[in-house]
Structure 1
Amino acid sequence: MTTSADPREAARTRLSAHREAVLALSHSLHAEPELAFEEHKSAKKIADLMEGAGFAVARGVCDLPTAFTATHGSGDLVIGITAEYDALPGIGHACGHNVNGAAAVAAALALAPVADDLGITVKLLGTPAEEYGGGKVYMLERGAFDDVTAAMMVHAAPVDGLGFTSHAISSWQVAYTGVTAHAAAMPHKGVNAADAMMIAQVAIGAYRQQMIPGGIVHGVVTCGGEAPNVIPGRVTADYDCRAETAEDLAALKARIRACFEAGALATGAELELADVGRDYADLRQDAEFGEAYRRSAEALGRSFDLVPSGMRGGSTDMGNISHVMPTIHPSIGYDCGETIMHNPEFTAYGTTPGADKAVLDGGLAMAWTAIELATAEATRTRLLTAHAERGGRAAGAAAAR
């Protein structure tokens, strides 16, 4: 498919017209960080901007008050661009989601004037709670991605990266309930919830030698008791299990659950294990899609020399999307000194000139990538065929149910 004018230059021109608004959005998200599923101001800022730019906006989609979609165009090739905007407790946008979200907005705005000529629909998906809860997974389950042919986003980082994968992850809130008692006068009347947690932690530590390769378990005790002279009657913790694949994660979770159950069995405390949101699958990036992004980013002066392809990162709910449709999740780099993500020092770099350039480069590179997907006939056919097959499988599964 071809157009009469150069769509790449049209996209660049449109983004230039929105440059100040996009950067103001990034800075505003950074200045008012909001936690998972509480991103009311952030979601509104983005949705308002998209609505003002002529996009059809649906707010509170998928029964998630801070999720939205914004669409433009009517082509059969639906390009899904996911915008993240949740922050971390206590340290704000230390994972750079203000950059992620603003870059997604930049890409959608840049594509708008060429969407109809290219036969694409631009779909910006506002996806809350990536850090804790899995907004994308809920949106996937509830149909927001059903019409999406291919999905992409960029993620803030110290360097540009492409083709890396991530761990599958499951998160738990753990609670032991025992019986409080005077620690000196009548300890035998108590049931020590802290001992239950200690036994579980020892069991997890002992299991590490036999843990599945690539398995990671980590957590923090959020309440360990109230006073040294009181047998702790309630102890809570947050724990994560990670593995290289979703299949390995299921096996790891079963063993770690047994470790927590051992603490309850040994002490007589009651155990509660509550899932936090949805499990995240490992990230599987589409190679051809990724190479299109590489060409676009390199045309803007970006380099991918510092991050080897196939490197494993943390965990992301974009992994679940990647198991269903062609997906990319490259990193967009900017100078952040010697620090890394999830560090409070990283937060301070989120509105620097380097971060602003990452927003604009990431947005334009995604827009140019979408243009290549739309105009390379073989690629376009592959994506549309895969989407049609996915729809057929989904229909068959629904009929079987």
Structure 2
Amino acid sequence: MSQTAESVHARAREAVSALEDRLWNVSLALHREPETAYEEHRAARLLTGELERDGFELERGVAGLPTAFVARTGSVSGGGPCVAVLMEYDALPSLGHACGHNLIASAGLGAALAVRAALGDFEGSLLAVGTPAEERGGGKVAQVAAGLFDGVDAALMFHPGVHDWTWAPLTASAQVRVGFHGRAAHPTGSPTEGIDALGALIQLFNTLGVLSRRLPAGSHVHGIVTDGGRATNVVPAYAEGMFGLRGATTSALEDLVDELRSCARGVASATRTGVEVADVGGRYEHFRDNEVLSGLFAGHLGRAGIRLSEPEPGVYLGSSDFGNVSTLVPGTHPWVAIMGTEGSGHTYEFAEAAAGPRARRVMTAAAEALACTAIDVLLRSDVRDRAWARLRAKAAEGL
């Protein structure tokens, strides 16, 4: 690596160090006032205000999402390489920031501010992208569809967790609503006139339980009853369930959705009900790690004393709409621990850890590593070429 790049890395680390108190205050502000999917108005105002304060050009409400934004800095001509640093800031209902998105936002903010401070005027563009509704709905799905990542050479973010892993094994996922239509009747006075929609839905759950025993690793289906009728003395004319489906790959997810549709139609035929099967929100594709970028991030993070390793085989960490971004452009999504493996995300304990001293150290280290990785992409054509080559090779292999 050239001396010039090394000196820029040093300036970026110095910038993050100078910003640490400011970044931590942003993180704590988000943590104190958690907002769920598509309601992150305070978070968006706070983050855009910080970026605007340091000279970024802001575009709010991108991709038709009121709480999404893009902040831009770099050459006026718009030519040269382009890097996007992604920020998530939605919280979980009842649990607050039990997935640590306050840290994702503050580390992404720190990286963006540090790159601008370290590079000054440069040929290329840096985008700080606000991505709402990762936990439910998929803001990045809408942003990909709107072309927001067209022309981007690398998409960078990190995620807090209970593992120190170079990348996150994230599955493809979908939310599917199944509704059965029957016929209402009095269950005692005219039982033969009724067609029990709730009974059909229950039968679907039983059928899916049998199906689950033969699913491949990484594939899961789980559901809840969202409408089971209104009174016990009326045969339910309508019943509805919501099902979450996951597959280790996007292809495996598509197969599982087809299986669900087949099961629902079979149950409808057997119970003489009508059935509707519909996707809810956008599907999340599986994450495609770019080893070029994740290797650079891991190397930079190691300067802070945090060593990343490969994920444990066969372990999956859920799903993210970042998977959709990673199919389009080279991306990295490392996992950095803010508590030990005795803990778990999406718990009150994890939410508490996301505002603790270890979280602050991780936020600062991740901001530095993200900034330095972004600088590598912006300054080194060989990094960009290798990252794109790796993405194209994975696409050709169907990975």
The reply on whether 1:96 has 2:104 as its aligned counterpart is: no
Counterpart secondary structure, 1:87: coil
Counterpart secondary structure, 2:234: coil
Q: Following TM superposition, by how much is the alpha carbon of 1:56 offset from its aligned partner in structure 2, in angstroms?
A: 0.6
In 2: Cα distance, 1:346 partner to 1:236 partner? 32
Counterpart secondary structure, 2:354: coil
Q: Following TM superposition, by how much is the alpha carbon of 1:291 offset from its aligned partner in structure 2, in angstroms?
A: 0.9
CA contact (8 A) 1:86 1:131 kept: yes
Out of 129, 138, 141, which is 1:125 matched to? Answer: 129
Partner residue of 2:395?
none
The reply on whether 1:365 has 2:366 as its aligned counterpart is: no
Partner residue of 1:228?
232
The amino acid of 1:28's aligned partner reads: A
**TM-score (normalizing by structure 2):** 0.89
Q: How does 1:1-20 map to 2 (within 5 A)?
A: 3=4, 6-20=7-21
Out of 187, 193, 202, which is 1:189 matched to? Answer: 193
CA-to-aligned-CA distance 1:145-196 (integer Å, 9 cap, x gap): 0121101100010232113422111111232233333333333332212111
The reply on whether 1:44 has 2:45 as its aligned counterpart is: yes
Of stretches 307-316 and 171-180 in structure 1, the one that deviates more from structure 2 is 307-316
CA contact (8 A) 2:339 2:350 kept: no
Counterpart secondary structure, 1:255: helix
Partner residue of 2:396?
none
The reply on whether 1:296 has 2:300 as its aligned counterpart is: yes
The amino acid of 1:276's aligned partner reads: V
The reply on whether 1:350 has 2:351 as its aligned counterpart is: no
Partner residue of 2:146?
142
Q: How does 1:51-66 map to 2 (within 5 A)?
A: 51-66=52-67
Counterpart secondary structure, 1:172: strand
Partner residue of 1:27?
28
Counterpart secondary structure, 1:338: coil
CA contact (8 A) 1:293 1:366 kept: yes
Partner residue of 2:177?
173
CA-to-aligned-CA distance 1:369-389 (integer Å, 9 cap, x gap): 1223334442144458899x9
Q: Following TM superposition, by how much is the alpha carbon of 1:71 offset from its aligned partner in structure 2, in angstroms?
A: 1.0
In 2: Cα distance, 1:164 partner to 1:223 partner? 35
Unaligned ranges ≥5, structure 1: 390-401
Greater than 6 Å deviation, 4+ residue runs: 384-387
* Change in 2 beyond 3 A, CA 1:264/1:34: farther
The reply on whether 1:267 has 2:268 as its aligned counterpart is: no
The reply on whether 1:318 has 2:322 as its aligned counterpart is: yes
The alignment yields a C-alpha RMSD, in angstroms, of 2.5
Counterpart secondary structure, 1:6: helix
In 2: Cα distance, 1:78 partner to 1:112 partner? 13
CA contact (8 A) 2:183 2:236 kept: yes
Q: Following TM superposition, by how much is the alpha carbon of 1:246 offset from its aligned partner in structure 2, in angstroms?
A: 1.2
* Change in 2 beyond 3 A, CA 1:309/1:78: farther
CA-to-aligned-CA distance 1:64-86 (integer Å, 9 cap, x gap): 11111011112612111111111
In 2: Cα distance, 1:20 partner to 1:171 partner? 39
Of stretches 170-179 and 139-148 in structure 1, the one that deviates more from structure 2 is 170-179
In 2: Cα distance, 1:258 partner to 1:337 partner? 39
* Change in 2 beyond 3 A, CA 1:189/1:274: same
Partner residue of 2:205?
201
The count of aligned residue pairs is: 389
* Change in 2 beyond 3 A, CA 1:339/1:233: farther
The reply on whether 1:338 has 2:339 as its aligned counterpart is: no
**TM-score (normalizing by structure 1):** 0.89
CA contact (8 A) 1:177 1:235 kept: yes
Counterpart secondary structure, 2:316: coil
